[in-house]
Amino acid sequence: MEKTFLMIKPDGVQRGLIGRLVQRFEDKGFQLIGSKLMVITKEQAETHYAEHKEKPFFGELVQFITSGPVFAMVWQGDNVIALSRAMIGKTNPLDAAPGTIRGDYAVHTGNNIIHGSDSPESAEREIANFFKPEELLAYDRPL
Ligand code: CMP
């Protein structure tokens, strides 16, 4: 079963959106197999955003993602990586369609509510950065 890493960023947590966002992924038909509210370390943030290391906004990105609690999640389901990215919407909220999470809740690119893995390789790497294998649970009745 395909797995992805989704993370409600500090702006989404502060705004009280955890419940509404989790609901969207449950409604779609995915299963939550791991989650935790946590403040991520600078090292975890730098690993998570390693591909953006040379970008001018890297420092700001690490500062923001470590600025308060995030809600880290692992979800499973068929095509969960591509489908959850479609539900999240484009990175820049100006391009994010209404009905997507960023289209409905975000105004700025930096504070864009939620992260979702963009490939199976990223998902594997990102899950390992935030969860121990024993923190991911099995369901009696998988999808
Ligand atoms: P995400 O897609 O989760 O991962 C990379 C993040 O970099 C992206 O969300 C944005 O939050 C952030 N980002 C991308 N472009 C910019 C930018 N121009 N300025 C600030 N942050 C950005």
Query: Which H/E stretch holds residue 12?
Result: helix 10-14
- Mean of pLDDT values over 53-77: 97
Distance of CA 7 to the CA centre of its chain: 3
For residue 142, report the distance from its CA to the centre of ligand 1, in Å: 33
pLDDT for residue 81: 98
Separation of alpha carbons 112 and 60, rounded Å: 13
For residue 90, report the distance from its CA to the centre of ligand 1, in Å: 10
pLDDT for residue 108: 93
Task: Using pLDDT thresholds of 50, 70 and 90, give the confidence band for residue 142.
Answer: low
- Mean of pLDDT values over 110-135: 97
Q: What is the pLDDT of residues 78-100, one digit of tens each?
A: 999 999 999 999 999 999 999 99
